[in-house]
Homo-oligomer: A and B are copies of this chain.
Amino acid sequence: MPSNPVVSPLLLDLIGVFAFALSGGLVAVRKRLDLFGVLVLAGATGLGGGVLRDLLIGVTPPLGISDWRLVATALAAGLVTFVYHPGVERLSRLVKVLDAVGLALFAVGGALLALARPGIPPLAAIIVGTITAVGGGALRDVLVGQVPEVLRRELYALPALLGSTIVVVAYHVGFISPLVVWGSAALVFGIRMVAIVLHLNAPQPFRLGDPR
């Protein structure tokens, strides 16, 4: 895996960073932040999940602050959203789609990068992949003061966990391949999109009283 990865983690990272950074930039536009606010939120959203991943698996400095291709990609995405963005009414929906792209690629890519490090047990690789996927979006939402997507009603962490698990299991049973990697990413994205479109929710706790 380290010497001959099935799929370049950098490629997964670059696309994921771009998608997440676009989502961060669009949220910044919606919140009427200025140019630098847009760039900061795009950068934090695009690179945050990967930085968290690298801290968890002991990679310092994290790739997200030392590889200029990732940094440039995040800033480029921020600039794109600053210059060109849809009308307000479509922003919210577009954020969710881009967020789903990033979620899918980071779940799979985060797990692959964790597997490439020595001494990371399978369970840790699965959770690292999931945290990579949900981390950037959670940072974005906390920074602008809204409850993170990962805690809201539609399926979010579950597809990321599923994609990450498939990759880690396939790796350990020796069936990892580009098809598995891209197929898992597609599966995560597909489940997430269906959940958004159909407003698929997990069950809620049974309640007698009212929420506080």
Question: What B residues does A211 contact at CB under 8 A?
Answer: 30-32, 88
Question: What B residues does A61 contact at CB under 8 A?
Answer: 56-58, 114, 119-121, 124, 128
A36: contacting residue among B36, B37, B85, B202, CB under 8 A: B202
Q: Which residue of B lies closest to A154 (CB)?
A: B34
Question: Does A144 contact B147, Cβ atoms closer than 8 Å?
Answer: yes
Q: In this assembly, does A22 line the interface, its C-beta being within 8 Å of a C-beta of chain B?
A: no
> Which one of A5-13, A64-72, A96-104, A185-193 is at the B interface?
A64-72
A5 CB → nearest B CB, Å: 19
Question: Which A residues are closer than 8 A to B by beta carbons?
Answer: 28-41, 51, 55-58, 60-62, 65-68, 71, 81-83, 85, 87-89, 91-92, 114, 119-121, 123-124, 127-128, 131, 134, 138, 142-148, 150-153, 155-158, 201-205, 207-212
